[in-house]
Amino acid sequence: MDAADINTKLTDSYISLLRNMNMQNKLDLISKLTNTVKADIEQGKSDFYLAFGGWDEDESADELIDTIKRARTFNKTW
């Protein structure tokens, strides 16, 4: 069984549970689900945009290269 089948079965199970809810509870649930989706979208956008921008350090390129080289660790044993 692949992920699509599992997701379809899960969705169908939720629908069968929700079928007995009254209209107001269904509308509240829709509103809450919508808010969580919007929050997920905004979080994804902010995570994406945090990946961009200039380097915010005063080190020169050579100093940065030296810092990276000194931070390297080699754990392989022969």
Cβ contact 18:26 at 8 Å: yes
Find tokens 């994406």 and name the residue: 48
Residue entry with tokens 């079928």: 19
Kindly state whether residue 39 falls inside one of the protein's structural domains: yes
Q: Is 20 a member of any domain?
A: yes
Number of domains observed in the structure of the chain: 1
Q: What distance in Å separates the CA atoms of residue 25 and residue 6, rounded to the nearest whole number?
A: 26
Residue 51 inside a domain? The answer is no
- Assigned domain for 30 exists: yes
Find the domain containing 25 and state its range: 1-45
pLDDT at residue 38, as a whole number = 94
Could you give the 3-state DSSP secondary structure of residue 19? Answer: coil
End-to-end CA distance of the chain: 44
pLDDT digit string, tens, across residues 10-47: 999 989 989 999 999 999 999 999 999 999 988 887 77
Q: Please indicate, yes or no, if residue 66 is contained in any of the structural domains.
A: no
pLDDT of 48 above 90: no
